[in-house]
Every structure is written in structure tokens, then in C-alpha cells.
């Protein structure tokens, strides 16, 4: 039996079928767009009819007669009014169009069940602190409404509170540090540990704003900062706390970061700096960063009380007058610094009396960087010598007028061995590493407005310049380039900032003693 051939439409495959389907789909979409008003009105009429049937079914039987009479009266009145039927049809079509529109459900607003539970738990925890028995209409009460006091709130991706605005009663003692500290500690514990919170108290409006702070950048390496002479970048902080940014480079990336700038000189109100922190928190790194910045404009004397060799990269460099690790060398360098301060004061005084500008040899700033003076004090006491800190009294007292700046770094547990002169004249303070609120207040003179965390990266801490606010601080990475643990990128960044080597390392070790002797003779002759 002969096989009959397939029709042409089937023999050509699925190409024509696909084209036909696409054409039909396009025609259907076009018809839907053209007939969309009619579809909307029809859907509206169906919904109005369904609503009328539900209304008629819900009407008691004894009231259906009067309802029919009322409907018939309305229809009769509309029919007798000029243009009444036309207006009735227009009104019916408008009502049908409104009822038949596509209604999208509104987006979900407000907290979900878990977030509501967090807010309610936090509200209950604040009740004992923000309530009083004699209050006739308390804002805070057990099983109360948290929406009255939490007017604004935000949550992060993990469902934890990231921002919260709290209203509290006017009789709360928000002017007392202890009362505020209790509230801050409670909010820190209930909102989630391991994060740093900023507390902004508005005493006039009786409001407290709690904000979770983002971590400070830790990938900023040492580099040439865009600063003027007399300005030193201690580190970087939050954008809302300063009114200035610095352009920085990170590989091929360029960005602007808010800095903590310390200003020194004759008009500075905080001419000297005290750095403290636990071992390994970055105090030596900050001293090394300050040294690299100040060598652009002045001379540096480095005294390493710990004797760890962390400043060996500075030995023999241009502008580095001495890098001392021994007790004898440290005493000689600090004695020379005291005589140099006196010489500068005498030269400046003579120039002012004669009506001349200051001599050129005293215009160059002199920086004294002293790391771990307590260790030097113990060694000097064992050898029967004076405490090296006693030689800092003259540079600390008269350094601002003589162009001499003193920076002292000491471990937090050895602060009791810091002399009174250092404590009185170091108005700029930095605390690095984990520290309690009491320790921060003792060193900085004021508590921070954030909650310190226990796990922080190296170089992370707080800074306060004079009577200014307490700022969060992240020190730029400035490791020892001779350390094997230093990465190649950070090693190269530090080496590029070092001045040229002008004196061999062996000869540089004898320079401080000779300089001290020459300075002593010069002061005696003066």
C-alpha cells in the first residue's frame, strides 16, 4: 500500500507553528490592550452585581419591601430628571470602572513578628529605669505599648536593631553620667553584643537615638597625606564627627576618608600627645606613623624604652637625630633635647627683643618620641640614675613656644608610672585596643558616646584632642618594614616614606652622645 505524503504544514517542521503561535499571542496582547477599558468595566459590573446580591441576601425579609420601594423611587426620579438616564449610565460606568480596577496589595509595613518581639522585650527591659510609681500616666509600664516610645526603628538583614529612636520621661536624670551609662549598657546587651553603638542624647527633647556604627576601614596603609605643616594624621574616624576628608589611595582605588588631625605649633592648645593601650594594639605603629609624617617638616629624636628595635628603620635617616634603646643613650638624648629647648627659647627671646624674626635654626620643629618610659625608669633606678621622664619637664612646659613636641607611648597597665609632668601637659590623648569605659574616661577625661567592644583590630581605639569630643580612631597600617611578618605591599609603603639614609647605622649610634655634649657646652656658653 502506497504511503501518502504528509501535508505541507507538517512537513515544514515546527517553524510555521511557532510563528503562528507568536502571531496569535501578539494579536491577543493587542486585543487585551485595546479592550482593557471594556474588560475593566465588565469586571466592575460583575463585582457591583455580586456586592448587590450579598447586600440583598443580608437584608432581612421584613425590610426587603421598603428597600424595593426605595430603589423604584430612585429609578423613577432619575428617569424624570432631564438627562437623568444618561447621567445614571455615566455614573454606573464610572463606579464599575473604579470597582473593576486591578488592586495590588500594599507592601508590608511595620515590623514582623520577630522584630515586634525584640521591640517589646527591649521596652519591658527599660520599664524599671524609665518609670516611677508616682507617675499618673507613665510612658513605660509592664505590658505597655512600645509604639508610644519607639517612634522610629530600623533593622539589619539579621533582624537585629540597627537604629532606634527612644522617647523617655522628662523626670529621668539624663544629666547624670551614671544614669546614662546604665541605659547604654542595657541597650548594648539587649540589642546585640559584638557591635558598636552610638548614643545621641537630646536632653531638651527627652529623646535618645541609638545607632549601630559601621566598622572603621582597616585597609588604609601608610602614605603621604595631604596636610599642612604642623598637621599630623593620627588616624581615621566616622564621617559625622569631623568636617574634613582626605584623598587616599588603596592600590588603584581612590577614596575620601575623614581623618583625625592633630595640630601642633605655637598656636596649638594641645602641643603634646599621650598614647596608651595594651601590648600589641598599635601604640608603636602610631608612633612610627607620626615619625614618618613629621620627618617631612622637622627633626625627630626617638627613644625606644622597650628595646625591641621597632624603630631601626629610622636609624641614620635624614632628619632623625637619634634612635636610642639603651639607658645611657636615652638619658643623653633627652638631656640634649632639654638643652635644645632652652637654647631655642633664648634665641627666640633675643630675636624678639631686637625686633628680628626668629632665627632659621629654631624654626625647624623638633619632635621627641618616647616609647615605654616606664621600662627606662626601672633600668635607670637600678643603675642609680635619674628617671628619664624628669628630663621631659622643660620640653613639655616650654615646647610650644620653642617648637618642640613630645609624644609619649605607654602600656595601659603601666600608666601609674607616668610622671605628673607628662599627665599635665599631654592634652591630646589616644587609647588603643580594648578598654573599659572607666579606663577610657580616666585617660581621655570624658566617656565615649559609643560602647567599646572587646574584639577590635590592631590600631583601633579612641582619641580626644584637648576638650573636644571623644572620637573613634583607626590608625593607618605602618608596620616595621624589617619584620618578616610584614606583607610586601605594606613594607614597600613604609620604605617609600622613609627619608634617604645620610649616616651609616654604626656611626648614627654614637651621634646622640656627641650631640648632647655639644649642646651642653653651647647652653653653658650662652
User: Please, are residues 248 and 265 in contact by the beta-carbon 8 Å criterion?
Assistant: no
pLDDT grade, residue 322 (50/70/90)?
A: very high
What residues are paired with 21 via a beta bridge? none
CA dist., res. 34 & res. 36, Å (int): 6
Rounded CA-CA distance 140/509 in Å is 69
Cα–Cα dist 215/472, whole Å: 10
pLDDT tens profile 427-440? 999 999 988 888 99
Confidence (pLDDT) at 92: 78
pLDDT at position 33 is 63
Choose the weakest-confidence range: 314-318, 482-486, 509-513, 518-522: 518-522
Give the sheet arrangement for strand 207-212, strand by strand: 150-155, 161-167, 207-212, 197-202
| Strand 320-324 with 299-304, pairing | parallel
Residues 6+ apart with CB under 8 A from 516: 332, 333, 335, 336, 339
The reported pTM is 0.73
Residue 523 reports pLDDT greater than 50: no
CB-CB contact of 291 with 302 (8 Å): yes
Residue 275, C-beta contacts closer than 8 angstroms, at least 6 positions apart: 283, 286, 287, 407, 408, 409, 410, 429, 430, 432
User: What are the chain's domains?
Assistant: 113-212 (no CATH), 231-500 (3.40.50.300)
Question: CA neighbours within 13 Å on the CB side: how many for 427?
Answer: 16
CA–CA dist 310, 480 (Å, integer):
6
Could you give the 3-state DSSP secondary structure of residue 318? coil
What pLDDT does 231 receive?
Answer: 94
319: cell is 632628619
Q: Is the pLDDT of residue 109 over 90?
A: no
pLDDT at 295 over 90: yes
CB 150: neighbour CB atoms within 10 A? Answer: 19
Tell me the chain's radius of gyration from C-alpha atoms: 39
**Sequence ranges of the binding site:** 277-284
pLDDT at residue 169, as a whole number? 93
* Average pLDDT of the residues in 128-136: 89
Binding residues for ATP: 277-284
Phi-psi region of 107 (alpha: psi -120 to 50; beta: other; left: phi over 0): beta
Cell of 296: 617631612
Q: Report the pLDDT value the prediction gives residue 358, as an integer from 0 to 100.
A: 86
In DSSP terms, which residues pair with 250 in a beta bridge?
253
pLDDT digits (tens, 9 = 90+) for 396-453: 999 999 999 999 999 999 999 998 999 999 999 999 998 888 899 999 998 888 887 7
Residues 366, 368: Cα–Cα separation, whole Å: 7
DSSP string over 188-254? HHHH-TTS-EEEEEETTTTEEEEEEPPPPP--PBP------TTEEEEEE--GGG-S--EEEEETTEE
How many CB atoms are closer than 10 A to CB 292? 25
Least confident residue range of 223-232, 371-380, 505-514: 505-514
Amino acid at each position: 500500500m502506497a504511503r501518502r505524503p504528509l501535508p505541507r504544514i507538517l512537513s515544514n517542521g515546527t517553524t510555521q507553528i511557532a510563528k503562528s503561535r507568536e502571531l496569535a499571542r501578539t494579536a491577543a496582547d493587542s486585543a487585551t490592550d485595546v479592550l482593557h477599558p471594556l474588560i475593566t468595566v465588565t469586571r466592575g459590573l460583575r463585582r457591583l452585581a455580586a456586592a448587590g446580591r450579598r447586600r440583598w441576601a443580608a437584608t432581612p425579609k421584613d425590610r426587603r419591601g421598603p428597600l424595593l420601594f426605595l430603589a423604584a423611587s430612585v429609578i423613577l426620579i432619575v428617569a424624570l430628571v432631564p438627562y437623568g438616564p444618561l447621567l445614571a449610565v455615566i455614573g454606573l460606568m464610572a463606579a464599575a470602572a473604579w470597582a473593576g480596577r486591578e488592586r495590588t496589595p500594599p507592601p508590608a509595613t511595620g515590623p514582623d513578628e520577630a522584630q515586634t518581639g525584640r521591640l517589646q522585650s527591649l521596652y519591658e527591659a527599660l520599664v524599671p529605669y524609665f518609670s516611677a510609681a508616682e507617675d499618673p500616666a507613665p510612658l513605660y509600664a509592664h505590658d505597655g505599648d512600645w509604639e508610644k516610645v519607639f517612634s522610629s526603628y530600623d533593622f539589619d538583614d539579621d533582624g537585629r536593631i540597627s537604629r532606634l529612636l527612644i522617647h523617655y520621661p522628662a523626670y529621668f536624670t539624663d544629666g547624670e553620667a551614671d544614669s546614662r551609662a546604665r541605659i547604654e549598657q542595657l541597650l548594648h546587651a539587649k540589642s546585640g553584643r559584638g557591635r558598636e553603638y552610638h548614643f545621641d542624647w537630646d536632653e531638651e527633647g527627652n529623646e535618645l537615638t541609638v545607632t549601630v556604627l559601621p566598622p572603621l576601614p582597616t585597609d588604609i596603609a601608610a602614605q603621604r597625606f595631604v596636610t599642612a605643616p604642623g598637621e599630623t594624621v593620627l588616624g581615621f574616624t566616622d564621617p559625622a564627627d569631623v568636617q574634613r576628608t582626605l584623598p587616599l589611595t588603596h592600590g588603584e582605588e581612590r577614596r575620601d576618608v575623614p581623618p583625625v588631625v592633630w595640630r601642633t605649633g605655637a598656636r596649638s592648645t594641645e602641643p603634646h600627645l599621650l598614647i596608651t593601650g595594651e601590648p600589641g594594639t598599635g601604640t608603636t605603629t602610631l608612633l612610627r606613623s607620626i615619625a614618618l609624617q613629621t620627618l617631612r617638616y622637622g627633626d625627630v629624636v626617638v627613644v625606644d624604652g622597650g628595646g625591641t628595635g621597632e624603630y631601626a628603620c629610622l636609624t641614620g635617616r635624614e632628619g632623625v637625630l637619634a634612635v636610642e634603646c639603651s639607658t645611657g643613650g636615652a638619658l643623653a638624648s633627652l638631656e640634649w633635647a632639654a638643652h635644645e629647648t632652652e637654647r631655642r627659647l633664648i634665641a627666640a627671646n633675643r630675636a624678639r627683643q631686637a625686633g628680628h624674626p626668629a632665627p632659621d635654626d629654631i624654626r625647624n620643629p623638633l619632635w621627641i618620641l618616647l616609647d615605654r618610659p616606664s621600662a627606662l625608669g626601672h633600668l635607670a633606678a637600678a643603675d642609680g640614675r635619674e628617671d628619664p621622664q624628669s628630663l621631659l619637664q622643660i620640653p613639655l612646659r616650654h615646647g610650644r613656644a620653642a617648637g618642640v613636641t613630645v609624644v609619649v607611648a605607654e602600656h595601659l597597665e603601666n600608666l601609674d608610672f607616668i610622671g605628673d609632668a607628662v599627665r599635665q601637659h599631654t592634652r591630646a590623648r589616644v587609647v588603643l585596643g580594648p578598654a573599659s569605659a572607666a579606663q577610657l574616661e580616666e585617660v581621655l577625661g570624658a566617656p565615649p558616646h559609643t560602647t567599646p567592644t572587646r574584639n577590635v583590630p590592631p590600631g583601633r581605639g579612641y582619641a580626644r584632642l584637648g576638650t573636644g569630643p571623644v572620637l573613634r580612631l583607626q590608625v593607618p597600617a605602618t608596620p616595621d618594614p624589617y619584620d618578616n611578618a610584614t606583607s610586601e605591599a605594606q613594607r614597600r609603603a613604609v620604605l617609600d616614606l622613609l627619608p634617604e639614609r645620610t649616616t651609616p647605622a654604626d656611626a648614627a649610634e654614637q651621634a646622640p652622645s656627641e650631640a648632647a655634649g655639644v649642646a651642653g657646652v653651647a647652653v653653658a656658653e650662652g
